[in-house]
Structures are given as structure tokens and as C-alpha cells.
Amino acid sequence: MKILFTLFFLSIFSIVFSQKMASFTILVTDYKNVPLKGEQILMVGQSSKKVFKGVTNSSGNFNIDIPGGDVYDIKIKSVGDAKDYNTMEIPAIGENQSYNKGTLTIMIEQSKSFTLDNVHFDSGKSSIKASSYDELKELVEFLKLKPEIKIEIGGHTDNVGEQLANQTLSQERASSVKKYLVEHGVSSSRLIAKGYGESTPIADNNTEKGKRLNRRTEVRIL
């Protein structure tokens, strides 16, 4: 990953500021310099632990004010855990000094698919456990921020039980996730639910850990 930023420090004014804030325009693009809409960027202070965030508009940018005197972890938020991107230091400045506005360009490669690690179902059933709702809410938000995309919800199982039963169960689980999304405002025309059963394992079904990894729900951007 690559980070490009320009920040002009120490522009001196006679006005005394009670709080020193550094103003940025943050631009998010892919590696072909195409602006990306609906990207969520988090700036997390290493000392303060405070989180500052923004979402890119149709031009791929947003404006943000961040307190100086800290090092910030830049994170890309999508569904599930935020991905670490880079860090940026905004040094403290003197009483009669001010920051000029800076620009920050973040280049990312958009994910084509991801696993919903915290979406779980009752054993042998397609009913979604309540512990899954936080991640499903994030998926709803992701889809609302990117109204132009369509996704496939893929259900997968381990190899325990009959192959046909696993195929049916995986389809029902994928359909349950689709139903949740529709009930929370996502158009069904943007969603495809498909069960893969035990046909595409990503780990060894001879171990409990492997079976657990194979029992998963994946999202693929179409």
C-alpha cells in the first residue's frame, strides 16, 4: 500500500487558537487513480485513543479536522475489523502558530470478496444467531454507502453429514442473510444467495479448526 500526503506546518499567525486542529482533505483512489466513493477512513490517535472518521463522497474525498500532537493510525473500515493502512504524525505546534490545510491521498485495492467472520447460525439450522447482528449491520451500511454494487452471498459448510443436506443447509443460510439485508433496507435486486455446501473448502476437514473455517458465509462483489 502507498500513502501520499502534503501537510504544511508552522504557518505563523498573530491569532492564538485554543485548540490546535489540523485540517485535511482526504482523497481515496484505486491504483489507477480512480476516486472511490463510500470508503470509510478511520484516524485513531495512538495516545488519545480517539477515533476520527469520514466517508468519501462521489468525488472520492471528504474533509476532516484532527487535533495535533499525536500519531494517528490510518485504518480502512469495511465489514468486520478495520484494516491497518499506515500511520501519520501531526506534531504539536506553538501557541501563536497554526497548521495550513493538508491533503492526504490514500490508494487502496478494493476487495472483491470477504468472509463474514462473525456471522453464525444455530447448529444444523439456518437461523441467524443474535451475535451476528453487529457484523450484518456493518454489511448493510457498506451496501448503502455503495449503492451501485451487487453482491453474492455464498453459504458454505464442512463435510459432516450428507452432501445433499449440506448443500440445502448452505443455501438456506445464504438466503437467511439475504432476508436480513432486505429487511434492513437493501434491495433484493442487488443480492444473490447461493449455497455451495461442502464443495469449496478452504481448510482441512479432518481437523476441528479446519471444519470451523469451512463453515462460513462469504460475500463476493459482482
Tens of pLDDT, residues 149-184: 999 999 999 999 999 999 999 999 999 999 999 999
How many whole angstroms separate alpha carbon 130 and alpha carbon 127? 9
* pLDDT value for 7: 46
DSSP state of 20: -
Q: How far is CA 123 from CA 77, 98, 159, 209, in A?
A: 30, 59, 14, 16
How many whole angstroms separate alpha carbon 136 and alpha carbon 148? 19
Average pLDDT over residues 116-144: 93
Q: How far is CA 65 from CA 19, 20, 41, in A?
A: 11, 10, 13
Q: What are the strands of the beta sheet with 40-45, ordered from one edge?
A: 51-55, 40-45, 70-77, 83-90
Go through the domains of the chain in sequence order and give each one's CATH number: 2-107 (2.60.40.1120), 113-221 (3.30.1330.60)
- Residue 184 is placed in which grid cell? 434492513
Residue type at position 55:
V
Q: Band of the pLDDT at 6, cuts 50, 70, 90?
A: very low
Q: Band of the pLDDT at 73, cuts 50, 70, 90?
A: very high
- Residue 210 is placed in which grid cell? 479446519
Q: pLDDT of 92-110, one tens digit each?
A: 888 888 888 889 999 998 8
- At residue 12, does pLDDT exceed 70? no
What pTM did the predictor assign? 0.79
The percentage of the chain sitting over the pLDDT mark of 90, rounded to a whole number, equals: 70
* pLDDT value for 141: 93
Q: pLDDT of 75-89, one tens digit each?
A: 999 888 789 999 999
Looking up cell 485504518 gives 75
Q: Is 189 helix (H, G, I), strand (E, B) or coil?
A: helix
